[in-house]
Amino acid sequence: MPGKIFDREKCERELRGFTAIDRKIEGVSNFLVGSGIDDFVKSRPVLRDHITANFKSIRVGNLPADFQQHLFWPRNSVLHWGNARYSYEDAAKCFSFAELGLWILHEMDLHRRALIS
């Protein structure tokens, strides 16, 4: 937002207020681009087409829930419950999902910066 100073403490309080990761994803998306992550990806053919072609378990139109299920739930299983039964393939999938999420966030950040310049 033009003329607004980023307040890290306030931002962290707001993020803690979202009870699930899918809500956090939507909250961050709304902050960055003023819409949900699905709408943003739908408006970017390169992102939309990449997801459709390369990620069979992640669907545009259900991105927050799919990221939660296919990235954050396995992560939580390992970190919080010590589940070490995942395979190399499982880890590679999670890495790909994380990389995709970072790409989307990067594109959102670029879009937001273009709007405020």
* CA Rg value for the chain: 15
Mean pLDDT of the chain: 87
Cα dihedral 82→86→88→91 (10° resolution): -70
- pLDDT tens for each residue of 70-113: 888 787 676 667 777 878 888 888 889 999 999 999 999 999 99
Spacing of C-alpha 20 from chain mean position:
12
Residue 4 DSSP symbol: P
pTM summary value: 0.83
| Confidence bin at 3 (pLDDT 50/70/90) | low
What domain count does the chain have? 1
Q: Is residue 2 part of a domain?
A: no
Dist. CA 100–CA 63, nearest whole Å: 11
Range of the domain at 47: 8-116
Q: Is residue 3 part of a domain?
A: no
Q: Is residue 1 part of a domain?
A: no
Name the token pair of 65: 């829930």
Q: Is residue 22 part of a domain?
A: yes
pLDDT at 1: 44
Name which of 7-11, 39-43, 73-77, 96-100 the model is least confident about: 73-77
| CA 17 to each of CA 13, 32, 55, 67: distance values in angstroms, whole numbers, following the listed order | 6, 17, 30, 19
pLDDT at 10: 81
